[in-house]
Amino acid sequence: MRHYVLALALSGIAAAAACSPDPLPAPRVDSPRFAGSEFHASRGAARAVSPLGYSVSVDESALELRLPELRHDTTTMHTLRARSTRVGEREVTAGALRIEGERATLARPGFDEWFVNGARGVEHGYTLYEASGPEPIRIEVDFEGLAATLSSPSHAVLRDDAGRARLHYQGPRAEDATGKTLPIVFEEAGGGDLRMVIEAKGARYPITVDPTFVPATTITSSGATHQGEFGYSLDIDGDVAVAGAYFEGNGAIYVLELDGITWTETRLDPMLGGHPYFGRAVAADGDTVVGGAPNHAGGGFVGVYRKTMGWTVEASITPSQATEQFGAAVDIDGNWLAVGAPNEDAGGMNQAGAVYLYERDQSNLWQPGPRLVPDDGGPNDHFGTTVAIAGDQLIVGAPDFDFSANDEGQLYVFERSGSNWTQVDKLSAPLPIRRSAAKLGRVTDLDGNRLVATNRSSTPSSSDEIVVFERSGGTWGLVDYFVTPGFGGQDELGDGLSLVGDRLVAGAWAYMLEGRVVIYDLVLGTWQVTQLIDNPTPLVNDYFGRSVALNAEGLLLVGDPRDIQGGLETGAVYVYPLVGDPCTSGDTCATGLCDDTVCCDMPCGPCGDCNVAGMEGQCQIFAEGEEVTGCSPNLCDGTTAECPACVDEMDCVAGHFCDAGTCLPLLANGETCAAAGQCMSGLCVDGVCCSSSCDAQCQACDVAGSLGTCTNVMGAPHGNRMPCSGPTCSEDVAYDDYQCAGGLTCEPQTITPCSPFVCGETSCRVDCASSSQCQEGFVCRIQTGECLSVCDGSTVTFPDGSQEDCGAYRCTAAGECYSNCTSGVQCSDGYACSPDGACIPRPEGTDSPSCAARPSRSDRRDWSWVALLVAGFVARRRRR
C-alpha cells in the first residue's frame, strides 16, 4: 500500500505542570535537509537533492537514489540504481539527457523516460510515442542495491540486505492520448527486478506510464527503547495526533503535528515511577491531548496537556477514591473528559468498574464531575473498559457483562443535561451473535449518531463481528452487524477501531502474525470492504493494526507497537491519506489513486468524479449518455468511470459515428465510408459519402473528378448495382451489347429484326421446326428449316411444301387464293379486274393493275369469250 511520505522533525517545549514540579525533559530536534529540488548538470548527469533529504542522480542510463541512514542505524548510506532494460520489444540503450527544472528526461528512439523530483517522491515516467511490439506492453526495470518484492499488483517494496523496507515503488498509472486510463500491474521479474504490464489494446499514442519511488519513512519515537510499545494507542483530531508508548521507560505519549508534509513530534512524560503504563490509553481533541496511566500507584493517573505556546501540562488527575485501572480508557470532547476505571470494586462488587467524568471550567481547571456506574452492574463486568464521548452522549463498554452466559458484554448509553449525566439506554448484541466470551464493548468508537463495537467470534474460521448502532429520534438501536471474509477469530479483527462518518477502519494485528488493516465504506446502506492495508515491513509477531486513528480529512494512522527499527523492537506509526484527502499524486494515497485532486477509492476515469461534495473519495459514475471532457466524442455509458468504447452512433456525440469502438467525426461527401451512418449526408454510396441516394442502374457517386456527387456513367454499372443484361429478344426484334450510355438504365447498342423468324430465348431464331417459329405471313418449310412467305404473289405454300397456283388471282397473307376481285391488286401480274369482279388478262396497251380497259361505246366488242375463259378456270387443278 501507499505511505504518506513523512519528513519527521522533532520539536517541543519544556512544560511546567502545576501538578508536576518536575519539568519535562527538553526534546531532541531532528531537522530534515531541504536543499531544493531542481536538477542541475554535473559530470554528465542530472543531480538534485530531494526535499525529503536524499540525493537524486540521473545519468544517460539510469536513476540513482542515495538514501539517508535509518534512525538507530549506523550502517553506510544505501544506494538504489534503477535502470530500464526493455520497453516493449526494444532493448533500452543510453539516452540523450535533458534537464528542465525538477524534471530530467532521457530521450530514446520511440519513447522518453523521465524523472520528476517532487515533494513526496521521485516520479518515474515513460512517454511511449509508438507501439514497439504486440500487446500488452511490457516494461522491465532492473534494481541494484535494493531488491523489489510485490505486496500488491500496484505496490512493490524495495528492501535492503537486512530485509528492511527502504523505498516503495507504487502507484503506476497509464493513460493514452485521450486521457483514457489503461490497466497496468506490476510483476516480479526475478532477481529483485520488476516488470510493468500495460493493456493498451485500442489505445491512442502517445501513452504515458507513471509509477513513483516513495521513501518508506515512518514515525518513530525520539525516546525509542526496546519493547517501548510506541504506537500501542492512537488518536487523531485534525492535524494533531497522539501516540502512546506505555512501556518506553515509565511510559510516554507523543504529540504528532502535521504541517504540510512534515510531522513534528513532542514527547510528553509526566515522570511517573513504577511502570505506570502511561500512554496505554490516549485521546486528542483540538489543542488538548490526554494520556492514561492505569498502573500508577494509587489506582491510576491521567495527564491532560494543552498547546498554548507549546505543549504544557494542564492537569494531572488521580482518582478521588480507591479504585483500580483508572485511566485504562480515556476520551475527551470539548470541555468534558471521561476516564474508565474497569477494575474498580464498585458497589462492593469485585471489578464491577466505574467511569469518572471531569469538566473544564472557564479558568481551564478540570473539575470532578459525576462518577458513573450502571444500574445492573455485577462482579467482573469491567464497566469502563472503553469510553466514547461526543456532545451529550457517552458510551461505556462492559465487555464481561453476563446475560445467560459468561462475558457476553453490554454497552451503556448516558446522556448529559447541563452538567448531569444519566443512563438512558443499554445496547447488546443481537441474539444470533450474543454468546459466551463475545465481550461486546471491549473496543468501541463513536462518531455523532453512529456507534461501532467489536463482538468476538466463536470460531477460528470466522472473523469477529462488527456491530453497528445508530441513534434516531433520540433512541439508539441496532442497524447492522457483519463479519469480514478472509479473516478468522484468531486475527483479532477490530482490536483497533476508528469511525468517521461513513468510513470505518479496523485493525487486525494478529493477521498472519504480521497484521493487516481493513477499511470499510458504507455504500448504498451496506458496509463494504474498500481497501486492505498490509504490514509494509512484515515480521512474525508484529502488531501492525493494534491501534488505528482516522481523522475527518481521511488521514489514517496505524500503530505497530512491535515494529523493529534499527534492530530494536521500538514500535512505529504509519500514516496513510485515504480516499477523499486532498492530493496532487497517488503517491500520498493509501489506494495509490489520486483523482479529481482527492484520494479515490477506485480508478475514477473521465466518466466519474471522485470529488463530489459530501462523497469525496468515492468515485461517482456519470449517467448514461453524458458528454464529458476526456471522453468526448465518446459518451459515458453509466456503468463505468472509464471512457467506454462505442458500439454504434448512439454512443457518440452528435455529428460523430462509431468506428471500432472510437467515435469519429461524420464524413463529408466524397470521403471513403463503410455505412450511411458515417456520412453527414446519411448516404454512403459506392464506398463514399454521396449527395443523393444515387440508386439508378447507370448512376454512380465514385466517378473520378466528381466524388460524392451522383453522376450518370458510361459503360458498365458501378458497384453493386444490377449489371447490364445480356442479349434479349422480344417482339421479333433482337437486342444486344447493353451498356450505360448516359441514361439511367442500360441501353442496347445492337438492334436486329428477326424476320422471317421469331425470337428465340435471347436472340432471333435462325431455323424453324414449325410455322409457329416463323413470323406471321411465313410458313416453315420443315425440310430445310426455312421460313417462307405463305403467299408469294399468286402462289400459296403449304407447311408440307406443296403449293397452289392461284392463276389469275393473287393470294392472301393467310395463304388463300382470291376468287374474285374488287381491284386489280388482287389479280396476278398481267391480269386486270373486270367490272363484274373477275381477273382477266390485261388487254395489250394497258398497264393499270387496278382495273380492265374500258372501250368506248363506238368500240364495243363481243365479250362472250370471257365466259368461256372463266369456265376453263373452274377446271383448274392443283399442282404439286
- Residue 396: strand pairing partners: 387, 412
* Residue 333 lies inside a defined structural domain of this protein: yes
Q: Are 679 and 740 within one domain?
A: no
* Residue 93 lies inside a defined structural domain of this protein: yes
- H or E element, residue 237: strand 230-237
Which string of b and e fits 425-436 if b means at least 16 CB within 10 Å? bebbbeeebbbe
Residue 627: which residues within 8 A CB-CB, separation 6 or more? Answer: 633, 635, 636, 653
Secondary structure letter of residue 862 according to DSSP: -
Question: Which SS3 state, helix, strand or coil, does residue 318 take?
Answer: coil
* Residue 481 lies inside a defined structural domain of this protein: no
Which string of b and e fits 278-303 if b means at least 16 CB within 10 Å? bbbbbbbbeebbbbbbbbbeebbbbb
Q: Check if the beta carbon of residue 304 is closer than 8 Å to that of residue 290.
A: yes
Q: What's the pLDDT band for 588 if we cut at 50, 70, 90?
A: low
Q: What's the pLDDT score for residue 276?
A: 93
Q: Check if the beta carbon of residue 645 is closer than 8 Å to that of residue 634.
A: yes
Q: Are 335 and 390 within one domain?
A: yes
* Residue 116 lies inside a defined structural domain of this protein: yes
Q: Check if the beta carbon of residue 354 is closer than 8 Å to that of residue 346.
A: yes
Q: Are 857 and 801 within one domain?
A: yes
Beta-strand pair 262-268/7-10: parallel
Q: What's the pLDDT score for residue 532?
A: 82
- H or E element, residue 869: helix 864-874
Asked whether residue 58 carries a pLDDT value surpassing 90, the answer given is yes
Amino acid residing at 262: T
Asked whether residue 717 carries a pLDDT value surpassing 70, the answer given is yes
Q: Are 54 and 73 within one domain?
A: yes
For the chain, how many structural domains are there in total? 5
Asked whether residue 879 carries a pLDDT value surpassing 80, the answer given is no
Percent of the chain with pLDDT over 70: 87
Segment 769-793, tens digit of pLDDT:
998 999 988 888 888 899 888 888 8
Q: Are 57 and 106 within one domain?
A: yes
Which cell goes with 424?
438512558
Q: How many CB atoms lie within 10 A of CB 612?
A: 14
Q: Check if the beta carbon of residue 537 is closer than 8 Å to that of residue 563.
A: yes
Q: Are 820 and 864 within one domain?
A: yes
Q: Check if the beta carbon of residue 651 is closer than 8 Å to that of residue 635.
A: yes
**Average pLDDT, rounded, for the chain:** 85
Q: Check if the beta carbon of residue 550 is closer than 8 Å to that of residue 578.
A: yes
Q: Which of 410, 442, 474 is the last residue of a domain?
A: 442
- Cell 380497259, located at residue: 853
Q: Are 182 and 55 within one domain?
A: yes
* Residue 810 lies inside a defined structural domain of this protein: yes
Asked whether residue 32 carries a pLDDT value surpassing 50, the answer given is no
Q: What's the pLDDT band for 53 if we cut at 50, 70, 90?
A: low
Q: Check if the beta carbon of residue 80 is closer than 8 Å to that of residue 137.
A: no
Segment 87-114, tens digit of pLDDT:
988 899 999 999 999 899 999 999 999 9
Report d(CA 244, CA 715) in Å as an integer: 96
* Residue 519 lies inside a defined structural domain of this protein: no
Segment 60-76, tens digit of pLDDT:
999 999 876 543 343 44
Cis peptide before 633 (omega within 30 of 0): yes
Segment 347-397, tens digit of pLDDT:
999 999 999 999 999 999 999 999 999 999 999 999 999 999 999 999 999
Using alpha carbons only, what angle is made at residue 71 by residues 66 and 72, rounded to the nearest 5 degrees? 125
Minimum mean pLDDT range among 131-145, 224-238, 608-622, 752-766: 608-622
First to last CA, the chain: 121
Domain boundaries, position 758? 728-766
Q: What's the pLDDT score for residue 594?
A: 81
Q: Are 207 and 323 within one domain?
A: no
Report d(CA 330, CA 665) in Å as an integer: 66
* Residue 565 lies inside a defined structural domain of this protein: no
Q: How many CB atoms lie within 10 A of CB 830?
A: 11
Which cell goes with 223?
525516546
Which cell goes with 826?
388482287
Q: How many CB atoms lie within 10 A of CB 305?
A: 26
Residue 525 phi, psi (nearest 5): 85, 5
Asked whether residue 848 carries a pLDDT value surpassing 70, the answer given is no
CA atoms within a 13 Å half-sphere pointing along the CA-CB vector of 555: 24
Q: Are 712 and 844 within one domain?
A: no
Asked whether residue 161 carries a pLDDT value surpassing 90, the answer given is no
- Cell 468508537, located at residue: 445
Secondary structure letter of residue 771 according to DSSP: G
Q: Are 118 and 57 within one domain?
A: yes
Q: What's the pLDDT score for residue 578?
A: 66
Q: Are 867 and 749 within one domain?
A: no
CA atoms within a 13 Å half-sphere pointing along the CA-CB vector of 676: 8
Q: What's the pLDDT score for residue 22?
A: 28
Q: Which of 442, 457, 476 is the last residue of a domain?
A: 442
Secondary structure letter of residue 461 according to DSSP: T
Q: Which of 442, 472, 499 is the last residue of a domain?
A: 442
Q: Are 336 and 353 within one domain?
A: yes
* Residue 785 lies inside a defined structural domain of this protein: yes
Amino acid residing at 77: M
Report d(CA 757, CA 731) in Å as an integer: 11
